Structure 1
Amino acid sequence: MRVLVTAGPTYEPLDPVRFIGNHSTGKMGYALAEAFALTGADVTLVSGPTSLPDPTNSRIAIQRVETADQMYAAAAAVAPAADVWVFAAAVADYKPAHVAENKIKKQGDTLTLELVKNVDIAATLGKNKRPEQFSVGFALETNNEEENAREKLHRKNFNLVVLNSLRDAGAGFRVDTNKVTLLDAQGEMIIFEVKLKAAVAHDIVQAVLARLPREA
């Protein structure tokens, strides 16, 4: 089995020293890559900027990128041959319309930036997903959690969505634990309690394996 996993944040440059980013550490995506590799899968891990060391499992090939455009290019090259896609990265929704060649100097009391939409990696690749391929997305929500997650599941052609809420203690960024709810395309919902991200990754992998088409 061949698996594509995206992990970590993306950094969208403003100038040579500044960027737009987020608090993602990549821990959940890296844990998923390890969990899939332990099942015997060959994993391509496309990682945004993180402080995490490269995985030591020989079944994991890592590709490090910085921007959403770079992550999309790397994922698009791997996706057609992969049986499972797992979009665990926290990709920036927007990027600066223009990147300054030199450091932006401090002038005045305000700074106005023009932002443009980044490519939606999961949705774009999902348009060409074959029936035998299985796609997993993440939904980090702060309100209307289940409704928003189900909308994302259908809009991005996911087979499974991993929902977590920043309102849940032990979930979100910069922690070693997570609390997730799994929602699948058939309407099933499974709620898990707070666990270490390695244990959460195992739960997600088992849910994927149980739902894979027989052809895979």
Structure 2
Amino acid sequence: MKILITAGGTTEPIDTVRGITNFATGKLGKITAEHFLEAGDDVIFFAGQTALIPKPHKRLTIFRISDTQMLYQMMETWVPKVDAVIHSMAVSDYRPVYMTGIDHFPQSLDLKTLLEYRPEKKENKISSKAPYQVMLLEKTPKIISQVKKWHPKVILVGFKLLSGVSQAHLIDIAQQKGRESRADFIVANDLTQVTKEKHRALILDHKQNIVAQLETKDAIAKEIVRKTHEKSHE
């Protein structure tokens, strides 16, 4: 099989030297890629700029991904060429439209005024002299919702990470994500249940039923490989 794995996080640029990012390391994606390679699969690995990556392998192709726009374009190109997508990357929910000193910010906060306003860019690096800065953010596209549109028959494994919620709430949100994205599997996890040694997660199938409960990244990765291969033979 040809497997596309996304791992790590995106970085949305504020200017040429700053960006909004997250703390995702891509470790689970890396381990999952290694298990797919061990199983004889070809792996296309999309990694955030600081994400961990697997060791070189003849059946491994790695692309470094910067922001959500690049990820969208790369996935639109590659998803139709693969058999399965393991979308573990922590994609930014918002990206900067602009950042400006508060003294120059529009007085009116209606959406039309905010969107029409554009600070003059006299330098690539935003000045750090102003004591306060204001940033306007816009929502990024939900890439996982496009995967089945690009390739209806692709096997899709999505991920949902929350923090400090009840298991019932985590399952409910994961089920909602599964329905919206038409994912074949959703890996649901809570950040408070993730440590250096442990990584508790649930795997839900396309009917939103819990089909696995795991305790480590290695176990999660192995189960993703197993479920993906099983699904490919249905």
TM-score range, shorter chain: 0.7 to 0.9
* Alignment match of 1:181 (pick from 193, 198, 202): 202
Displacement of 1:167 in angstroms is 2.6
Residue pair 1:85, 1:135 contacting (<8 A) in 2 also: yes
Match runs of 1:55-204 below 5 Å: 55-98=55-98, 101-130=123-152, 132-142=153-163, 143=165, 144-170=169-195, 175=196, 177-195=198-216, 197-204=217-224
Deviates more, 1:105-114 or 1:21-30: 105-114
Deviates more, 1:27-36 or 1:107-116: 107-116
Displacement of 1:164 in angstroms is 0.4
Map of 1:11 onto structure 2: 11
Identify unmatched segments of 5+ residues in structure 2.
100-120
CA distance in 2, matches of 1:36, 1:17: 36
Deviates more, 1:140-149 or 1:97-106: 97-106
**Pair 1:169–1:32, CA change in 2 (3 A):** closer
SS at match of 2:177: helix
CA distance in 1, matches of 2:205, 2:212: 12
Displacement of 1:176 in angstroms is 5.7
Displacement of 1:107 in angstroms is 4.2
Percent identical pairs in the alignment equals 29
Output the TM-score relative to the length of structure 2. 0.82
Deviates more, 1:202-211 or 1:159-168: 202-211
Residue pair 1:34, 1:57 contacting (<8 A) in 2 also: no
**Pair 1:205–1:51, CA change in 2 (3 A):** closer
**Pair 1:189–1:118, CA change in 2 (3 A):** same
Aligned letter for 1:127? K
CA distance in 2, matches of 1:54, 1:182: 23
SS at match of 2:160: strand
CA distance in 1, matches of 2:98, 2:60: 35
Identify unmatched segments of 5+ residues in structure 1.
none
- What are the superposed Cα offsets for residues 24-76 of structure 1, whole Å, 9 maximum, x if unpaired? 00111111111111111111001111253553222111011111111121122
In the alignment of these two chains, the number of paired residues is 208
Displacement of 1:108 in angstroms is 4.2
Which 4+ residue blocks in structure 1 deviate beyond 6 angstroms?
A: none
Residue pair 1:10, 1:91 contacting (<8 A) in 2 also: yes
CA distance in 1, matches of 2:127, 2:190: 38
SS at match of 1:168: strand
Displacement of 1:169 in angstroms is 4.6
Q: Which has the higher strand share?
A: 2
Q: Which has the higher helix share?
A: 2
Deviates more, 1:97-106 or 1:55-64: 97-106
Map of 2:21 onto structure 1: 21
SS at match of 2:156: strand
Residue pair 2:7, 2:51 contacting (<8 A) in 1 also: no
